[in-house]
Amino acid sequence: MTTHAPLACDLHDTLEVACVYHYVVTLLCRDGTAVSGRAMTTETTADKVKLLIVESSIGTKQIPSVIYC
């Protein structure tokens, strides 16, 4: 089982606001890539990984918090 760092509360709150208003966001990921799109919602997997759901012109992406925090 992979251990994930918990998402900081202030970052989580900011992402929730972005989802409520469907802001267009650009996330700079730990691996150096960037993901852009409209923040739609967050989800939590069975193993407690937070996902940010982003819609872009190429489709819907589920971005785990371990990538962007």
Residue 4 in domain: no
Q: Of 3-12, 25-34, 58-67, give the lowest mean pLDDT range.
A: 3-12
As a whole-number percent, the residues of the chain with pLDDT over 70 amount to 84
Domain assignment of residue 31, yes or no:
yes
| Residue 2 falls inside a structural domain | no
What residues have CB less than 8 Å from 3, skipping those under 6 apart? none
pLDDT, greater one: 45 or 12? 45
Q: In this structure, is residue 3 part of a structural domain?
A: no
- Domain harbouring 20, CATH code: 2.30.30
Which pLDDT value is given to residue 19? 95
pLDDT at 36: 93
Residue scoring higher pLDDT (10 or 1): 10
**62 falls within a domain:** yes
How would residue 18 be classed by pLDDT, with cut points 50, 70 and 90?
A: very high
Number of domains in the chain: 1
Owning domain of residue 41 = 9-68
Burial 15-42 (b: 16+ CB within 10 A, else e): beebbeeeeebebeeeeeeebebbbeeb
